[in-house]
Structure 1
Amino acid sequence: MKAGKKIVYAALFANLAIAAIKFAASLWTGSSAMLSEAIHSSVDTGNQGLLLYGRRRASRPADDGHPFGYGMELFFWGFVVALLIFSFGGALSIYEGILKLSDPEPIADPWLNFAILGAAALFEGYSFRLAWREIRRAYPDRSTYSAVKASKDPSIFVILMEDAAALTGLAIAASGLALAFWLDEPAFDGVASIAIGLLLLATAVLLARETRSLLTGESASRRVIERVRKLLRDDRRVEAAPEVLSMQIGADAILLAATLEFHEGVSAQDVERAQRELTEEIESSCPEIRRAFLRPAAV
């Protein structure tokens, strides 16, 4: 969780600086694509603030109202971030692009825009690198896309996808500005703004799908479930574990329940001892499993 917090702070400060520079440049040059990029960076800055808020609320200890803790709050705020990217980032960028197409105006000082886009790419690239390294560290044997789908921490995969969209958006904005300048056709600037908006809409849909899955009771990773199944199978008292159920209740918190079939001849006293010992072993060998509930199968 500490690595995720560092990544969010790095992205927040980078986007805050970038947004201010982009807004100044868009006002000076009149570039629609640059204004779309400024809106994009502003939305990203607000999103990182929401992720930090979600992390703080998710870290609260369990109480009577929430006996399994507040970890799922981070999933909720990750979903809110996806909605903000869709509505404010994507929709406003498309709207701004349409306005530019309806009344195209020449872009002043295009080289200033190119310089700012280059500086923004450095900031965004640094933030992206931090998030990419963390997700590769957590899932070294998976592709980046597969790792994003497997990740249970929105504060990491949201930043990674936001930064990937931001770097792509910068390339689109630079292409639109270049065409508008060299072909003396300002409409390309509006087209770039619309393309950036569509990119943000697609990113928002992907993020919403991932966070929705976590919000609606996504199971623990296959790696964790297989580790638990092996631990249960290796116990000499257990014949089978026909049912192993799990739910992600936080970025690094899992609720687990399993049904066990014991060998014939295992006494009721031994069954109770096995349940207790196996519960302790599961929770110690898999620290992310905060609560494990084992029950014997009905005879």
Structure 2
Amino acid sequence: MSASGGTKAIIAALTANLAIAVAKFVAAAFTGSSSMLAEGIHSVADSGNQVLLLIGGKRAARASTKEHPFGYGRERYFYAFVVAVVLFTIGAAFSLYEGWHKISEPTEVASPIWAFGVLIFAIIAEGFSFRTAIKESNAVRGKQSWVAFVRRSKSPELPVILLEDLGALLGLIFALFGVTMAVVTGDGIWDGIGTMMIGVLLAIIAVVLAMETKSLLVGEGASPDVEARIRAALESAPEVERIIHMRTLHLGPEELLVAAKIAVEHNDTAAEVARGIDEAERRIREAEPIARVIYLEPDLDRLRTPAAN
């Protein structure tokens, strides 16, 4: 994912959520609806999410130091994990609590026109934000399904924004359902049910994002297609007889570490081996530009080296 694409989606979501949060709180004050209050908290949490993602992207761009020789690229994973675990979970916990409270002590929804107007406005605004996230994701998704893209993407921002915007749209639909049923039936319990539905939705999204970002934070290797390109580039170098073994690790979304032991001819000179390694590194970087840290260890091709007498 390009940094500019991710930033564009984040800013679009942040702008929409700030406007929507204000509108939802105003509607909650006029209507007394717990669904609207939960949705207001949801939008505030979403806005916090986007601020954290922007901070993570800024901090990840710092130059490497002696203490962090491989740089700070994985800070983007850390902040995405914080978004998943803390903010989504807080939003879910508040919504579940507020929904239970409303079901236990139902009250009539006053001035429902405020709720309907704000919810329709919010659905339109979130729709534009979701459209931006889809457009930016399609630019890098390739032929992957949406589920595969969320699970395999090494850049956390777009999957987070996609699930966040999807959750926001579904949450608005749940809130609209709860308020509508409360108005139609005159029973405020429905408002609480809509709020509980929002809480369950946020909890599910929190679990999914936490699992995916945890995997990135712990450390993931290159995707199969990227690894295949690196292998092909390495094996195409004239001095490389074969790859004995190879490991890859993402130091950040756009930075990959490649470590490999390669077999060379037993009668190659040190100068020839050094030139071969330089050429192999050049070919790897040409095939996969994100392979920025490369360590190649030469070894004798023991499968072809003549046995000692």
TM-score of the aligned structures, taking structure 1 as reference length: 0.96
1:248 pairs with one of 247, 250, 256? 250
Following superposition, the deviation at residue 267 of structure 1 comes to 3.8
**CA apart distance, 1:110:** 1.6
Bigger mean CA offset, 21-30 vs 132-141: 132-141
Contact map agreement 1:248 1:254 (CA 8 A) in 2 = yes
Partner of residue 46 from structure 2, selected from 41, 44, 47? 44
Write the mapping of 1:130-145 to structure 2, written as runs, cut at 5 A. Answer: 130-145=132-147
Q: Does 1:25 align with 2:27?
A: yes
**Would the aligned equivalents of 1:225 and 1:244 in 2 still touch at CA under 8 Å?**
no
Deviation at 1:263, TM superposition (A): 4.3
Q: Deviations over 1:105-159 (max 9, x none)?
A: 0001222212211111111111111111222211220111111112111221111
Residue of structure 1 in register with 2:298 after alignment: 296
Q: Which of the residues 209, 218, 228 maps onto 1:216? A: 218
Rounded Cα–Cα distance in structure 2 between residues aligned with 1:242 and 1:149: 29
RMSD (Å), alpha carbons: 1.4
Corresponding residue for 2:84?
82
The residue aligned with 2:165 is: 163
Match of 2:69 in 1: 67
Equivalent residue for 1:117, pick from 119, 127, 142: 119
Conserved? CA contact 1:135–1:148, under 8 Å: no
CA–CA distance in structure 2, aligned partners of residues 187 and 238 of structure 1: 71
* Structure 2, unaligned runs of 5 or more: 303-309
- Alpha-carbon distance in structure 1 between the residues aligned to 2:167 and 2:206: 10
For 1:56, the equivalent position in structure 2 comes to: 58
Report 1:259-270 matches (<5 A).
Answer: 259-263=261-265, 265-270=267-272
Where in structure 1 do 4 or more consecutive aligned residues deviate above 3 Å? 263-268
2:234 alignment counterpart? 232
Query: Does structure 2 conserve the Cα–Cα contact (< 8 Å) formed by 1:74 and 1:250?
Result: yes
8 A contact 2:233–2:287 mirrored in 1: no
* Secondary structure, aligned partner of 1:67: coil
One-letter amino acid of the counterpart of residue 230, structure 2? V
- Overall identity of the aligned pairs, in %: 41
Structure 1 residue 20: Cα displacement: 0.7
- Measure, in 1, the Cα distance between the counterparts of 2:112 and 2:265: 77
Corresponding position of 1:106: 108
1:255·1:292 contact (CA, 8 Å) conserved in 2?
yes
Q: Structure 2: how far apart are the matches of 1:36 and 1:99?
A: 12
CA distance in 2, matches of 1:2, 1:255: 23
5+ residue gaps, structure 1: none
- How many equivalent residue pairs? 299
TM-score, length of structure 2 as denominator length: 0.93
Rounded Cα–Cα distance in structure 1 between residues aligned with 2:202 and 2:87: 6
Distance in 2 separating the partners of 1:63 and 1:130:
36
The match for 1:202 is 204
Residue among 269, 274, 279 paired with 1:277: 279
Distance, in Å, in 1 between the alignment partners of 2:54 and 2:26 is: 27
1:170 shift after superposition: 0.8
Q: Which residue of 1 aligns with 2:97?
A: 95
Check the 8 A contact 1:283/1:291 in 2, yes or no.
Answer: no
Q: For residues 51 and 149 of structure 1, what CA distance do their matches in structure 2 show?
A: 18
- Of the three residues 143, 147, 153, the one matched with 2:155 is 153
Provide the residue aligned with 1:174 in structure 2. Answer: 176
Which of the pair has more CA radius of gyration? Answer: 2
